[in-house]
Amino acid sequence: MINNDHFYKSEMLILSQLKKQDATIDDLYLTFQSVNLNQLNNGSLLTSIFFFLESHLISQYSHNNTIYYHIESAGLVRLDTLKRRYHEIQNTIEELL
């Protein structure tokens, strides 16, 4: 449960950043480091990116020999689903507290 919860939160954060703008792995890494999200290191980012590519949630393209990642329609749907699930859980926790 905890590992899945971590993955879903990471997935939501990565996709939400790609919704804002196309980015490189380094861009994503620096963004997460700037807000002290240390669990999203380069290794976990790469693993997530490969999963997203295989699932057709994102695509990649090269510009000036740099690989950029772009969120696709399926990724936007997935992000919306993850955000709804997150808010439902957050609301339930608030009610219980």
pLDDT for 35: 82
Tell me, what's the pLDDT at 2? 40
Q: Cα separation of 27 and 56, whole Å? A: 21
At 19-47, the pLDDT tens digits run 999 999 999 999 888 887 767 777 888 98
Q: What is the pLDDT of residue 28?
A: 93
Give the residue extent of every domain in the chain: 2-96
Higher pLDDT, 10 or 81: 81
The residue written with tokens 């939501």 in the block is 12
pLDDT at 6: 62
Q: If DSSP codes are grouped into helix, strand and coil, which group holds residue 26? A: helix
CATH number of the domain at 2-96, please?
Answer: 1.10.10.10
The two three-digit tokens of residue 28, written as one number = 């994503």
**Sign of torsion over alpha carbons 36, 37, 43, 48:** negative
